[in-house]
Amino acid sequence: MFQLEVTKRFYASHGLYDFRGEDELIHEHHWKVVVFAKAETLDISGCAIDFHEVDHLLNKVLSRFQGACFNDHAPFDVLSPSAENIAKYLHEELNLSLKSNLAAIFRVMVCEDEEHCASYESH
């Protein structure tokens, strides 16, 4: 099994809904997203997936959140923008867009900083 990782960093703000009984104040993080893909085989060039394709898809999904507030954009205008929910959202969006016959995105990790991360993984 081959495994690949693509990492992206960006600034964005968020505030959790109903966190310990009240909505959090909006605050900024220097986010890190790590996308994990896996493949059983490689193509003729020896690659499981083009890193640039994953970069492009990730940039496209994240573009409306970069420098903005997650809470201002669907689905996080109603869904609490926790690292867990952001990881699941990115996992689903990336898998919808991926055009690979060999590789699949199986895990997305979202970090609010270098010490605090959450992941969503498909089975």
Q: Which domains does the chain have, with CATH numbers?
A: 2-121 (3.30.479.10)
Cα separations (Å) of 59 from 1, 8, 9, 62, 64?
A: 26, 8, 10, 5, 9
Listing DSSP states for the chain in one string gives -EEEEEEEEEEEEE--TTBTTBPPPPEEEEEEEEEEEEESS--TTS-SS-HHHHHHHHHHHHTTTTTSBGGGSTTTTTS---HHHHHHHHHHHHHHH---SSEEEEEEEEESSSS-EEEEE--
pLDDT bucket at 99, cuts 50 / 70 / 90: confident
pLDDT bucket at 102, cuts 50 / 70 / 90: confident
Phi-psi category of 46—alpha, beta or left, where left has phi over 0 and alpha has psi -120 to 50? Answer: left
**pTM of the predicted model as reported, rounded to 2 decimal places:** 0.94
Instruction: Give pLDDT, residue 123.
Output: 73
Q: How confident is the prediction for the chain on average, in pLDDT?
A: 95
Q: Which residue has the higher pLDDT, 97 or 65?
A: 65
Instruction: Give pLDDT, residue 112.
Output: 97
- How large is the average pLDDT for residues 52-63? 95
Q: Give tens-digit pLDDT for 69-83.
A: 999 999 999 999 999
- How large is the average pLDDT for residues 81-95? 97
